[in-house]
Every structure is written in C-alpha cells, then in structure tokens.
C-alpha cells in the first residue's frame, strides 16, 4: 500500500493506471475510519481493479474552528484499516497542498445545499464540493464511493458531477450500522454512556415512520409527529431537523406523500447534567409507498 501526499504524484500514478487499462475507485474520507468506511472500501473493491482512499480533514467544511480542532486524527489506525481492506493507495495531502495560499476558487452547488444540514451549517457544502472536486481531479477515479448516511452530501456531489461533467460514477453505499441500529459515524465515539444509550432513538423514529407508511399512513404531518414523539422518548435528544423531502431535488414533500420520500433527521444528543459536549447525529430513510419500486 502506497502513501502519497502530492497532488501531482497521485495524478501521475492515476494516468499510468488508466493507461494500463485498470479501473480506479476512490473512497474520500476525513480519517477516523471505522467499520462503515470498511464497507465503502469493500464496495469500491467490487467495482474496480485498484482501490484508493483519501484521508484529509478538510478545513473549509467546518463552521466552528473548535470542531476542526477537535476532529479525531488517527492516522496509524486509519492506515491499518486501509491495509485490512486491501487499499492499494492512500492519498493524504496537507492543507497547503490542497489549498495553496493564493487559492481563490470555490465550487458551489445551489439549491440542494440550502435545506437540512445546509440550513444548520452555512458554507459547509461549499467546502465539501470544493474539496471533492479537488480529490476527483487529483485521483482521476472511474468511480467514487460515498455513504448514504450523508444523504444530502451524496445528492449534492451527484449534482455537482452531473453539472460540471466530471467523468466519474458516483456510488452511494448503504449505511453501515451498530447492532442496535445506530448509524456508524466518527461522531459516535464522542458520545458519553448515557448519550450512546439513547442515541438509537434516531433509528427507532425512522423505523416507526417506515412502518406507518407500510400500514398506509401518507400524511406528512402525521408521520413527522410520529417521529417527534419517538425522539421525545430520549430525554437527552434535541431535534435539529426532522423533514420529509424529495430524494432527488430535496424540495419539501407534499402534505400527503405521493411517491418515495426522504425522511431526514439531525438530532443533538445533549450531555446529562451538562457534563460533556452535545453531539449532533444524522440519519435518514427513503420511505417507499405501496407500489413504489424498491
């Protein structure tokens, strides 16, 4: 497994691999790798001859400098995960390599970035789309794999790739979960014991809505009330957003669902007795109506 820090060097390797007729897959990450990332790397392996991972804590997608400073940096264990997954190359650029001092260029997707996490984190997606563009231009993959847990991010990246004509296939891999259903995330390690115990309220809320739709409940208001009621059973949980949206355009769902609909959640898990830090978790489910194709 090769560890590369230079954009020009990784581009030269990509050119050589492509010239040799090998298909390249890239899994972009910010490190702190866990079993969810392993599932993305395995999906990439199924789709390509060479699997590359990038590890870069992207400063431009953080709204709060404290979040950037506190983001876990675990290179040694990250490389061990990549080795276990059979990764062929790890691209680990520095911030200066990705953002030279005189950088003036940003990639900004419009309306898709405004709701949901975009409303809570202004400027976040501009940082995401800019860095993903840079990673795609550096690694030149045929396919790039992202997790469906970050549903809005996946939708934004797909739109960016389509609009700008990137020659790459964007694959969304299913969300990997803990045994109790909690979506795997690097943020989970920040949860205290009581926060972690109550965190599966997100997946219980998603399941409750899914079961209600399966039973014929298509009222958006009723489904969102069901979600809020389920989240309220966890005393430390505080909803950032709970919304029903079109899975492609992310526009709000109609008052009565008439097609497959995204249910997106972001929930703050507050520390009991204000001891510790609040942790923001996200999750989602595409609710399939009767007769919808799966």
Active-site residue numbers? 37
All residues at 6 or more sequence positions from 35 whose CB lies less than 8 Å from its CB, including other chains: 176, 184
In whole angstroms, give the CA distance from residue 37 to residue 149. 11
165 contact partners, CB below 8 Å, separation of at least 6 = none
Ordered DSSP codes for 82-133: HHHTT-SEEE---HHHHS-TT--------GGGSSTHHHHSTTHHHHHHHHHH
Is the alpha carbon torsion for 145, 146, 148, 151 positive or negative? negative
Parallel, antiparallel, or unpaired: how do β-strands 2-4 and 89-91 relate?
parallel
């Amino acid at each position: 497994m090769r560890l590369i820090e230079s954009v020009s060097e990784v581009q030269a390797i990509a050119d050589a691999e492509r010239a040799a007729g090998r298909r390249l897959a890239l899994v972009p990450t910010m490190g702190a790798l866990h079993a969810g990332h392993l599932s993305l790397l395995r999906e990439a392996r199924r789709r390509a001859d060479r699997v590359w991972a990038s590890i870069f804590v992207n400063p431009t997608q953080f709204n709060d400098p404290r979040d950037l400073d506190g983001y876990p940096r675990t290179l040694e264990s990250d490389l061990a995960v990549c080795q276990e997954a059979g990764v062929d190359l790890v691209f680990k650029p520095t911030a200066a390599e990705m953002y030279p001092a005189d950088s003036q260029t940003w990639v900004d997707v419009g309306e898709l970035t405004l709701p949901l996490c975009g409303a809570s984190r202004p400027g976040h997606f501009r940082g995401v789309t800019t860095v993903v563009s840079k990673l795609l231009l550096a690694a030149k993959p045929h396919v790039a794999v992202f997790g469906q847990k970050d549903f809005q991010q996946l939708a934004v990246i797909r739109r960016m790739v389509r609009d700008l004509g990137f020659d790459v296939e964007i694959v969304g891999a299913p969300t990997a979960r803990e045994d109790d259903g909690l979506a795997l995330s690097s943020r989970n390690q920040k949860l205290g014991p009581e926060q972690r115990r109550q965190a599966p309220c997100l997946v219980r809320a998603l399941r409750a809505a899914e079961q209600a739709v399966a039973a014929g409940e298509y009222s958006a208001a009723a489904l969102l009330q069901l979600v809020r009621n389920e989240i309220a059973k966890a005393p430390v949980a505080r909803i950032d957003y709970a919304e029903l949206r079109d899975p492609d355009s992310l526009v709000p769902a109609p008052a009565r669902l008439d097609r497959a609909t995204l249910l997106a959640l972001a929930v703050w898990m507050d520390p009991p007795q204000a001891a510790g830090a609040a942790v923001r978790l996200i999750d989602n489910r595409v609710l399939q109506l009767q007769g919808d194709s799966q």
